[in-house]
């Protein structure tokens, strides 16, 4: 049996007859050997002359998958690795870790993370711009507004594609309506029936406004300004900002807070006493509950040390919609948790206010917005602030930003290599 040396190597995950059929197709078309990583040393792929089969019972786990696939890619740096999952679980595994794969691995699947999908979509807009590298302030404004207008559709369609691909749900695509606001279009495109109330749209509109900007020092805006100061295009700057906002310590903080509250509600219930709430807060602080970090998410802010006006406004809006949706019990639990948490932390010598993340999860939940969309919605809102700071830097500074670093460690005398 003869094999030809090609510029690519097929690598499959699986072991059943479907996996063998794909390997067979590669051989008949290209006369190449296929490498298969499966769980068990059985099945039609095991022992085949056109296949090199490697069994590993843990190949479907995150760590072993990355270690195995990336290790194979490193051994074949001069080849393109065609990575294919033969089964839904393997496809999901590949997509989940797509960003962590070696550069010579080709995985023909949509991104598991919607933020990564948004980054790719923004960069793709560069190719549709007739003058993408024009960084004149006015041209930057026009390009930025164009991106701002497209982001809601990009985010909503990425989500709909994801649940269609992974959850086997029907693909629902609503074309945005010109007469709708950004908030209205988001609700329209995310919901199957496209219906929403005026109160729901008003709350989402408030959410978008209070997340639109927060000064030039927050991580994603600073990232945007630093990168744009080099003279690069707006698409590259916004893509970098999205990467910053994706982090759990920045844009992903609202998800952490929402998950924490859900875990607490499940642990002690909505009717828990203040004493029970205080006890679970102490367990969090002692790193004995939730994620064992000792952090009470949704409380404290680097700038707002006394109160967060954004959080105060959001709290009022949530109260109104909670009454309309008959979810007063949940809202009342949140307000009691906030009060007890502040008192408990004050007893530990900390004076903290609730931040905008504290009520964000509850607001999104009442709006039936899936958790996957929390941070992409942050992108839709913060795009306005990124654009404003980008233009401001171009008009009133224009210099490349280069933060200075000062070494504060001890000096070590130099030693020649042979003396080390």
For the annotated catalytic residues, the residue numbers are: 250, 301, 357
Handedness of CA 151, 154, 159, 160 (dihedral sign): positive
236 in Cβ contact with 309 (< 8 Å): no
Please list, in sequence order, all residues whose beta carbon lies within 8 angstroms of the beta carbon of residue 405, skipping any fewer than 6 positions away. none
Contact assessment for residue 312 and residue 210, using Cβ atoms and an 8 Å cutoff: no
Query: In the beta sheet, which residues pair with residue 9?
Result: 81
CA nearest neighbour of 87 among 47, 52, 51, 39: 39
For 110, the 3-state DSSP assignment is coil
R_g (Cα) of the chain, nearest Å: 26
Distance in angstroms (rounded) separating the CA atoms of residues 234 and 241:
11
84 - beta bridge partners?
Answer: 12
Helix, strand, or coil here: 312? helix
Q: How many CA atoms are closer than 13 Å to the CA of 275, on its beta-carbon side?
A: 0
Query: Are the C-beta atoms of residues 337 and 295 closer than 8 Å to each other?
Result: no
161 burial (CB, 10 Å; 0-12 / 13-18 / 19+) is middle
Distance CA 96, CA 36 (A): 20
Chain position carrying tokens 């078309």: 29
Cα separation values, 392 from 33, 130, 152, 201, 208, Å? 56, 24, 24, 31, 21
Of the candidates 398, 51, 412, the residue with the CA atom closest to the CA atom of residue 225: 398
User: At which residue do the structure tokens 């794969």 appear?
Assistant: 101
Residues 117 and 39: their CA atoms lie apart, in Å, by: 30
CB 59 within 8 A of CB 38: yes
């Amino acid at each position: 049996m003869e094999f030809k040396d090609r510029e690519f190597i097929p690598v499959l995950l699986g072991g059943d007859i479907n996996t063998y059929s794909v390997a067979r197709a590669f051989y008949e078309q290209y006369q190449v050997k296929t490498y298969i990583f499966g769980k068990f040393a059985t099945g039609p792929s095991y022992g085949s002359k056109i296949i090199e089969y490697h069994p590993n019972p843990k190949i479907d786990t995150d760590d072993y998958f990355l270690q195995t696939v990336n290790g194979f890619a490193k051994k074949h740096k001069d080849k393109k690795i065609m990575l294919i999952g033969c089964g839904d679980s393997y496809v999901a595994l590949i997509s989940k870790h797509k960003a962590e794969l070696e550069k010579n691995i080709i995985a023909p699947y949509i991104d598991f993370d919607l933020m990564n999908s948004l980054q790719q979509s923004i960069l793709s807009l560069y190719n549709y711009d007739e003058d993408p590298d024009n960084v004149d302030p006015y041209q930057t404004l026009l390009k930025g507004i164009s991106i701002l207008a497209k982001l809601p559709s990009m985010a909503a369609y990425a989500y709909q594609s994801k649940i269609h691909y992974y959850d086997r749900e029907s693909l629902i695509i609503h074309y945005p309506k010109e007469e709708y606001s950004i908030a209205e279009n988001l609700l329209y495109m995310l919901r199957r029936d496209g219906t929403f109330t005026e109160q729901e749209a008003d709350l989402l509109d408030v959410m978008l406004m209070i997340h639109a900007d927060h000064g030039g020092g927050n991580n994603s805006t600073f990232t945007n300004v630093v990168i744009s100061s080099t003279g690069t295009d707006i698409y590259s700057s916004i893509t970098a900002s999205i990467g910053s906002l994706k982090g759990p310590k920045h844009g992903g903080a609202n998800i952490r807070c929402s998950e924490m509250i859900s875990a607490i509600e499940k642990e002690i219930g909505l009717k828990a006493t203040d004493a029970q709430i205080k006890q679970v807060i102490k367990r969090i602080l002692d790193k004995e509950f939730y994620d064992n970090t000792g952090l009470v998410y949704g409380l404290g802010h680097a700038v707002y040390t006394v109160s967060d006006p954004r959080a105060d406004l959001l709290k009022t809006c949530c109260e109104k919609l909670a009454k309309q949706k008959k979810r007063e019990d949940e809202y009342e639990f949140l307000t009691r948790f906030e009060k007890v948490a502040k008192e408990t932390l004050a007893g530990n010598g900390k004076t903290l206010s609730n931040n905008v993340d504290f009520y964000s999860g509850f607001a999104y939940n009442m709006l039936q917005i899936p958790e996957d969309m929390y941070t992409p919605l942050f992108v839709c809102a913060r795009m306005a602030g990124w654009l404003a700071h980008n233009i401001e830097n171009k008009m009133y500074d224009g210099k490349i930003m280069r933060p200075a670093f000062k070494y504060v460690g001890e000096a070590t005398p130099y030693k020649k290599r042979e003396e080390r």
